[in-house]
A and B are shown apart, each in its own frame.
Chain A
Amino acid sequence: PVMCDHSHLFSNQYVTHNPKLYKKPFVESFEETPLLVAVLTYMGYGILTIFGYLRDFLRHWNIEKCHVAREREEQKDFVPLYQDFENFYTRNLYMRIRDNWNRPICSVPGAKMDLVERVSPDYNWTFEHTGKVVKDVINMGSYNYLGFAENSGACADAAIEATQKYGAGVGSTRCEIGNLDIHEELEQLVARFLGVESSMAFGMGFATNSMNIPALTGKGCLILSDELNHASLVLGARLSGSTIRVFKHNNMQSLEKLLRDAIIHGQPRTHRPWKKILIVVEGIYSMEGSIVRLPEVIALKKRYKAYLYLDEAHSIGALGPNGRGVVDYFGLDPKDVDIMMGTFTKSFGAAGGYIGGKKELIDYLRHHSHSALYATSMSSPVAQQIITSMKIIMGEDGTTLGADRVRQLSENTTYFRRKLHDMGFIIYGNDDSPVVPMMLYMPAKIGAFGREMLKRNIGTVVVGFPATPIIESRARFCISAAHTREMLDTVSLPISPVREPLFPSLEKPALAISQTTESEKRSAGR
């Protein structure tokens, strides 16, 4: 696991940006970790590590019962499959708080869900299902931004029809006979939705990135990728064989410096000019809640003739007055972004990914993308769900349901963020992003927060190392248009009493107060 260095974030707010490119104020805050908290967090991890070594020692000498799965007797003299140290973290730290993840649910993942109750007789090594169901847990963890995760209504009816007509599977790849007429319809609709010439849909969002970036760049090309890009983008960049350079998160100075250096000095050692430069950014970063500074990125891209790959996995449908994503949010022209990629999992309640752009690009991808040639196409009911939900968002079904939901999401986001801010919690990210990370820092709080919220019938997501830097563990709330004001109040109410025993009261730094007044001004003006 790689530890990312977040020290630059502390100075991000002091980096000068070009405000003329933005049509409305861009308010983002990433507060510094207070020194006391950082020290206590490291101490906490240190104590856990010592205990980990002690327990490993006891397990090795059979003083403690060992629950860890073992290698077969016949294969004992093979080279060990895992190094002991690789699994140290899993065995000793992750195992203690494992019940906060992989919680099985048995209903629609909507605003409220039903969880399968499970208990562990041996401290999380094994789980047993009691057979009971915890009903009506408020869901703050699923990516259900526009509330399309539902089992009744127009979308579900259309999906039922599609299943009856086409069946569940497809059985072939896109370039063979997996190209159903429903896929053609879907692709034309997606192109209209995004405002681009043409688009293509794939069966899995992760595979969209990892299979298409290699088709676009190769040896002799340069990929400039943001520090906090998703694993699929990193894998795609690696598989392409291009040179990868990383710029600091959302930091335009760092990106510009890399661009200038790349063009001036060319490829390393040979100094030949680069064939292509591709900038890879995401719309909303799911762990930070920050939004990419798209106007500045586009200005840089035009000045230095690079290409832009925008991954809108979380922002499509969730940002913008019409729900068309981060391009809509900033009021820019979709033709400025060369490759617009996104997923259907989050705002459309389905599965899969898409890429949109110029016609030449999509035609090229149809024949050279690994995913189109070797991987199965999207299942029909899933494609139908996307078509129906997209039509609702665009308003083409004749109702205002889509516009209502987009507006509701934006109101919920503002309300929830302001509430948490007023209560004095450290929230990361942009004021308009529906992903709200709340800092917890200490390892023990991760487990305690998750469990205490579940006792009060609220399902939250807590994230720790290695998805985040080691001292910046957080709880993440995903706002949905399906949440009502009462639900948000119910969620924010217990955070204080749950946190108070866990945290000493921290002084609010001056910067946070100025951000609060900014957001108050904006929401008063709305």
Chain B
Amino acid sequence: VHRSECEWFLVSVWLCAPAYHLILEGILILWIIRLLFSKTYKLHETYKLTEKEKEDLIEEWQPEPLVPLASKDCLSLNYDVVTGPPSHKIIINGKECINFASFNFLGLLDNERVKEKALASLKKYGVGTCGPRGFYGTFDVHLELESRLAKFMKTEEAIIYSYGFATIASAIPAYSKRGDIIFVDEAACFSIQKGLQASRSFIKYFKHNDMEDLERLLKEQELEDQKNPRKARVTRKFIVVEGLYMNTADICPLPELVKLKYKYKVRIFLEESLSFGVLGEYGRGVTEHFGVDIDDIDLISANMENAIASIGGFCCGRSFVIDHQRLSGQGYCFSASLPPMLAAAAIEALNIMEEDPDIFAILRKKSEHIHKALQGISGLKLVGEPFAPARHLQLERSTGSRESDMQLLRSIVDQVSPDVHVQYLVQC
């Protein structure tokens, strides 16, 4: 009885509704039914290709050649061949020259003690490690080298890489991800640039060694942060600088950078490939040179191919920072470890550096000597700090085009070549 009453109620409501209401609802229902059953309209339908057209496209497509045809490069097509060890007297293409071109700053490349230790290690371990660090590629020599480097630099921990180029190029992307901000000097070297590219972060270049420019960028960033505090709380900021710049041979102003660090709360990554084993009273690099506390720098990275005359690279700093790279440094986890004989050579080089701190003073004196001697050559200027061991002689005035500059530099090198081998590069 109850149900039939409800039904009677509904029917009565329907009968009482105004006519236009019923007609409108009827039209809407018909429209919905039509839409439900009509064919769906896809954008692709407009230019669907036939099978024949597809085959024609595939036939017609011609790729570019894999490599472009060799143009008449101003670089010689063949490398210079060195016979024998690359020590102070070097034999290039059959001619004996004095070597002013390799990064052998402390002269340890043909040191007998270093060779002895490398040989002893070779007789014990063989040459290769046959595995990455995680899978039986960690030798006790690696652990010893890491702890010696950490002790030498007076930091908590150090981590070794098997290739110098890969060190900073793996370290930067391990910490800085998409959305983070990195402030980098314009004259940063190539491996830093690759690391920046791999990290996918925002890169902001400041003028070389110009602290005002850097401060201006930092202030702009601070204003941005105030507009969006939630985002600012998770955006990490880094400054990447080099101790001694490879491209300009001058030194970074580290004390001002540390002040900026605490003022704007950014972390500093310092790349010390050229300054490790060169600057500072005991060769500890630019932090010792300026007397800056090493804990103020978040990460110091250097390669062992310059002063230590071995192969590979290392990063050192606090355990909080360095330990992260053991699982997320690509060049560490996915690559074979450093051959143990090269690690043993590096340990012995460190021993020599610790026993005899006078060699750093000798190196500086000799660099200053060369600096004075090369001044005053007409048409050429020597850039860089007097105590930097790696320098650039630049043309004072460009002749107008890159090719003619290269020709001029090359003729200078050829003139000098019978006695001395130097390396020429063109700076853009």
Chain A residues close to B by CB (< 8 Å): 69-72, 74-75, 77-83, 90, 94, 101-110, 113, 116, 139, 141-144, 148-152, 155-156, 159-160, 163-172, 174-181, 184, 203-207, 210-211, 216, 230-232, 235, 238-239, 260, 263-264, 273-277, 304-307, 338-339, 343-346, 348-351, 360-361, 363-367, 370-371, 373-376, 379, 381-382, 385, 459, 461
Closest chain B residue to A384 by CB distance?
A: B127
In the bound complex, do residue B237 and residue A171 qualify as a contact, i.e. CB atoms below 8 Å apart? no
B119 partner residues in chain A, CB cutoff 8 A: 160, 163-164
A207 partner residues in chain B, CB cutoff 8 A: 163, 165-166, 331
Given contacts A171-B306, A177-B423, 17 further A-B contacts (CB under 8 A): A79-B234, A103-B136, A156-B122, A165-B85, A166-B86, A177-B102, A178-B102, A205-B336, A206-B163, A206-B166, A207-B331, A239-B197, A339-B66, A351-B129, A376-B303, A381-B127, A385-B128
Closest chain B residue to A174 by CB distance?
A: B79
Residue from B67, B84, B127, B335 in contact with A350 in the complex, judged by beta carbons closer than 8 Å: B127
Closest chain B residue to A348 by CB distance?
A: B128
In the bound complex, do residue B82 and residue A180 qualify as a contact, i.e. CB atoms below 8 Å apart? yes
Given the contacts A141-B135, A166-B84, A171-B306, A176 and B115 also touching, CB distance less than 8 Å: no
Smallest Cβ distance from B96 to chain A, in angstroms?
13
- Residue pairs across A and B with Cβ atoms less than 8 A apart, 11 shown, are A72-B295, A79-B234, A108-B125, A109-B130, A163-B115, A170-B86, A204-B331, A206-B166, A370-B190, A376-B164, A459-B136
Given the contacts A105-B139, A168-B118, A349-B130, A179 and B80 also touching, CB distance less than 8 Å: yes
In the bound complex, do residue A144 and residue B339 qualify as a contact, i.e. CB atoms below 8 Å apart? no
CA distance A497 to B185 in the complex (A): 60
B281 at the interface (CB under 8 A from A): no
Residue from B68, B86, B191 in contact with A172 in the complex, judged by beta carbons closer than 8 Å: B86
Chain B residues close to A by CB (< 8 Å): 49, 54, 57-58, 61-64, 66-70, 73, 75, 77, 79-87, 90, 92, 99, 101-104, 108-110, 114-115, 118-119, 122-131, 133-140, 142-143, 162-166, 175, 189-191, 194, 197-198, 232-237, 262, 265-267, 295, 303, 305-306, 308-311, 318-321, 323-324, 326-327, 330-331, 333-336, 338-339, 341-342, 345, 421, 423
B309 partner residues in chain A, CB cutoff 8 A: 167-169, 171
A178 partner residues in chain B, CB cutoff 8 A: 82, 86, 102
A459 partner residues in chain B, CB cutoff 8 A: 136
In the bound complex, do residue A231 and residue B103 qualify as a contact, i.e. CB atoms below 8 Å apart? no
Smallest Cβ distance from A258 to chain B, in angstroms?
13
In the bound complex, do residue B136 and residue A109 qualify as a contact, i.e. CB atoms below 8 Å apart? yes
In the bound complex, do residue A307 and residue B66 qualify as a contact, i.e. CB atoms below 8 Å apart? yes
Closest chain B residue to A357 by CB distance?
A: B66
A374 partner residues in chain B, CB cutoff 8 A: 165, 189-191
Closest chain A residue to B103 by CB distance?
A: A171
In the bound complex, do residue B126 and residue A176 qualify as a contact, i.e. CB atoms below 8 Å apart? no
Smallest Cβ distance from A96 to chain B, in angstroms?
15
Smallest Cβ distance from A36 to chain B, in angstroms?
30
Closest chain A residue to B423 by CB distance?
A: A176
B143 partner residues in chain A, CB cutoff 8 A: 104
In the bound complex, do residue A109 and residue B131 qualify as a contact, i.e. CB atoms below 8 Å apart? yes
Given the contacts A177-B92, A363-B77, A203 and B135 also touching, CB distance less than 8 Å: no
In the bound complex, do residue A109 and residue B194 qualify as a contact, i.e. CB atoms below 8 Å apart? no
Smallest Cβ distance from B121 to chain A, in angstroms?
9
CA distance A176 to B67 in the complex (A): 23
In the bound complex, do residue A235 and residue B99 qualify as a contact, i.e. CB atoms below 8 Å apart? no
Smallest Cβ distance from B196 to chain A, in angstroms?
11
A371 partner residues in chain B, CB cutoff 8 A: 165
B140 partner residues in chain A, CB cutoff 8 A: 104-106, 116
Residue from A102, A159, A346, A373 in contact with B134 in the complex, judged by beta carbons closer than 8 Å: A102
Smallest Cβ distance from A463 to chain B, in angstroms?
9
Residue from A69, A79, A102, A461 in contact with B237 in the complex, judged by beta carbons closer than 8 Å: A79
CA distance A176 to B324 in the complex (A): 35
CA distance A110 to B345 in the complex (A): 22
A90 partner residues in chain B, CB cutoff 8 A: 327
CA distance A84 to B90 in the complex (A): 54
A379 partner residues in chain B, CB cutoff 8 A: 311, 339, 342
Given the contacts A177-B92, A364-B67, A81 and B267 also touching, CB distance less than 8 Å: yes
Smallest Cβ distance from A323 to chain B, in angstroms?
16
Smallest Cβ distance from B315 to chain A, in angstroms?
14
In the bound complex, do residue A179 and residue B267 qualify as a contact, i.e. CB atoms below 8 Å apart? no
CA distance A346 to B130 in the complex (A): 6
In the bound complex, do residue A105 and residue B81 qualify as a contact, i.e. CB atoms below 8 Å apart? no
CA distance A101 to B332 in the complex (A): 14
Given the contacts A171-B104, A204-B163, A81 and B341 also touching, CB distance less than 8 Å: no
Smallest Cβ distance from B260 to chain A, in angstroms?
13
CA distance A108 to B70 in the complex (A): 45
Smallest Cβ distance from A450 to chain B, in angstroms?
11
CA distance A361 to B85 in the complex (A): 29
In the bound complex, do residue B110 and residue A143 qualify as a contact, i.e. CB atoms below 8 Å apart? no
A78 partner residues in chain B, CB cutoff 8 A: 265-267
In the bound complex, do residue B136 and residue A105 qualify as a contact, i.e. CB atoms below 8 Å apart? yes
Residue from A175, A263, A307, A351 in contact with B79 in the complex, judged by beta carbons closer than 8 Å: A175
In the bound complex, do residue A103 and residue B130 qualify as a contact, i.e. CB atoms below 8 Å apart? no
Q: Tell me which of B81, B262, B295, B338 has the highest count of chain A C-beta atoms within 10 A of its own C-beta.
A: B81
Q: Tell me which of B73, B166, B309 has the highest count of chain A C-beta atoms within 10 A of its own C-beta.
A: B166
Given the contacts A367-B75, A376-B164, A235 and B198 also touching, CB distance less than 8 Å: yes
Residue from B85, B137, B197 in contact with A166 in the complex, judged by beta carbons closer than 8 Å: B85
Q: Tell me which of B129, B164, B190 has the highest count of chain A C-beta atoms within 10 A of its own C-beta.
A: B129
In the bound complex, do residue B84 and residue A276 qualify as a contact, i.e. CB atoms below 8 Å apart? no
In the bound complex, do residue A164 and residue B115 qualify as a contact, i.e. CB atoms below 8 Å apart? yes
B423 partner residues in chain A, CB cutoff 8 A: 176-177
CA distance A344 to B104 in the complex (A): 27
In the bound complex, do residue B49 and residue A264 qualify as a contact, i.e. CB atoms below 8 Å apart? yes
Smallest Cβ distance from A103 to chain B, in angstroms?
6
A165 partner residues in chain B, CB cutoff 8 A: 84-85
B319 partner residues in chain A, CB cutoff 8 A: 69
Closest chain B residue to A480 by CB distance?
A: B130
Residue from B61, B99, B130, B138 in contact with A143 in the complex, judged by beta carbons closer than 8 Å: B130
In the bound complex, do residue B122 and residue A160 qualify as a contact, i.e. CB atoms below 8 Å apart? yes
B262 partner residues in chain A, CB cutoff 8 A: 74
B233 partner residues in chain A, CB cutoff 8 A: 79
A155 partner residues in chain B, CB cutoff 8 A: 127
Given the contacts A263-B61, A273-B61, A375 and B115 also touching, CB distance less than 8 Å: no
Query: Which 7 A-B pairs give the minimum distances between C-beta atoms?
Result: A375-B165, A204-B163, A171-B102, A364-B67, A206-B335, A69-B320, A179-B79
B92 partner residues in chain A, CB cutoff 8 A: 177
B128 partner residues in chain A, CB cutoff 8 A: 148-149, 344-345, 348-351, 382, 385
A108 partner residues in chain B, CB cutoff 8 A: 124-126
CA distance A348 to B129 in the complex (A): 11
Smallest Cβ distance from B234 to chain A, in angstroms?
7
Smallest Cβ distance from A218 to chain B, in angstroms?
11
Residue from A170, A204, A238 in contact with B162 in the complex, judged by beta carbons closer than 8 Å: A204
CA distance A113 to B137 in the complex (A): 11
CA distance A448 to B85 in the complex (A): 50
CA distance A211 to B142 in the complex (A): 26
